[in-house]
């Protein structure tokens, strides 16, 4: 990564809700954050009740074991490791999660069919690397351009039909199989992981979310609400509240990471806070920050304009 990470501070927040219909939360989200770096994961479990919760929990634990508790989870390493190395470690974490979920279904036949999505992001300064499987999404919200772009592509049968020109986006949204995935953790021993690299600017936001949000809140609305709220904590809360007001038919999870100008860094002061994992329960809000921290309509890019994955390293 370039020196663009200097003189910026990352401010992050995460929130999850059981919604208005479900009795349990199959989403599992974690955020490890500090001023210079942020690691965020959204996993949306499937397979019913305990099985879905178990799958998403296994996925997050694999990320924690491979990245947070690794020998590289220190400031010196995170500042110097190459994009390619970090991307490979993110892919390894997801492959490990998949293997662990498959192994669990073999141990406990009653959990057969369980699986989870996973969208994982590592942000360093103004650049982000993402690894993705399933239909939980990542969006880039650009403050200057007042634009939101879907970074990740949904691994669903309906989105594949849209990409092939057999369905319009409007038809896809009403299709009875819109939530059926052709790629998710736990489906098979082998899994392909999409990797993306995203360049951000000051005041841009990266939004990770489960499909419980996108079921009720459209991309332009996500962009507008995210930019309207100066702090990610307020943005995440507002997005979840809106999804719940519109029915909350599924569990809803949102993580917002914002790039801010850091005047402290310009004076030479450097934070020494270490990365730490934080567990999030239903309705809990996490505000990750250091000492301090538009109402213009948002342009929503179409599914055809999603960012293409970078080749696997």
72-88 pLDDT per residue, tens:
888 888 889 999 999 99
Q: 3-class SS at 308? A: coil
CB 151 within 8 A of CB 207: no
Min mean pLDDT across 36-45, 107-116, 155-164, 258-267 is at 258-267
Q: Which residues contact 52 (CB under 8 A, 6 or more apart)?
A: 26, 45, 46, 114, 116
The yes-or-no verdict on residue 62 having pLDDT over 70 is yes
Among residues 113, 161, 159, the alpha carbon closest in space to that of 135 is found at 159
Positive or negative: CA dihedral 6, 36, 120, 161: negative
Could you tell me the pLDDT band of residue 15, with boundaries at 50, 70 and 90? Answer: very high
CB 287 within 8 A of CB 229: no
Q: Which residues contact 133 (CB under 8 A, 6 or more apart)?
A: 94, 98, 117, 118, 119, 155, 183, 184, 185, 191, 192, 193, 194
What region, left, alpha or beta, does residue 184 occupy, with left being phi > 0 and alpha being psi -120 to 50 degrees?
A: beta
Task: Give residue 264's pLDDT.
Answer: 52
- Which domains occur in the chain, in start order? 3-305 (3.60.40.10)
Tokens of 85: 């190395």
Enter the pTM of the model: 0.83
The Cα-based distances of 115 to 102, 153, 242, 285 in angstroms read 9, 18, 27, 26
């Amino acid at each position: 990564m370039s020196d663009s990470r200097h003189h910026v501070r990352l401010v992050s927040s995460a929130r999850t809700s059981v919604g208005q219909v479900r009795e349990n939360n199959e989403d599992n989200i974690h955020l490890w954050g500090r001023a210079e770096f942020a690691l965020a994961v959204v996993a949306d479990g499937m397979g019913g009740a305990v099985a879905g919760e178990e799958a998403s929990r296994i996925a997050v634990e694999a990320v924690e074991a491979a990245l947070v508790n690794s020998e590289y989870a220190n400031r010196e390493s995170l500042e110097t490791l190459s994009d390619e190395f970090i991307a490979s470690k993110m892919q390894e974490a997801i492959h490990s999660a998949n293997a662990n979920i498959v192994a669990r279904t073999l141990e406990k036949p009653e959990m057969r069919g369980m699986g989870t999505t996973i969208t994982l992001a590592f942000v360093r300064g103004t650049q982000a690397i993402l690894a993705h499987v399933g239909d939980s999404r990542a969006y880039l919200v650009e403050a200057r351009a007042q634009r939101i772009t879907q970074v990740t592509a949904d691994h669903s049968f309906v989105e594949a039909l849209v990409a092939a020109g057999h369905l319009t986006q409007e038809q896809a949204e009403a299709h009875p199989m819109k939530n059926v995935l052709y790629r998710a953790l736990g489906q098979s021993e082998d899994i392909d992981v999409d990797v993306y690299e995203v360049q951000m600017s000051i005041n841009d936001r990266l939004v990770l979310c489960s499909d419980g949000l996108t079921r009720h809140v459209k991309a332009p609305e996500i962009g507008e609400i995210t930019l309207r709220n100066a702090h990610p904590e307020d943005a995440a809360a507002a997005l979840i509240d809106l999804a719940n007001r519109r029915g909350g038919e599924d569990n809803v999870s949102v993580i917002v990471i914002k790039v801010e100008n850091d005047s402290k860094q310009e004076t030479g002061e450097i934070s020494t806070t270490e990365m730490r994992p934080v567990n999030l329960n239903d309705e809990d809000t996490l505000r990750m920050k250091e000492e301090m921290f538009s109402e213009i309509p948002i342009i929503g890019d179409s599914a055809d304009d999603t960012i293409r994955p970078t080749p696997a390293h």
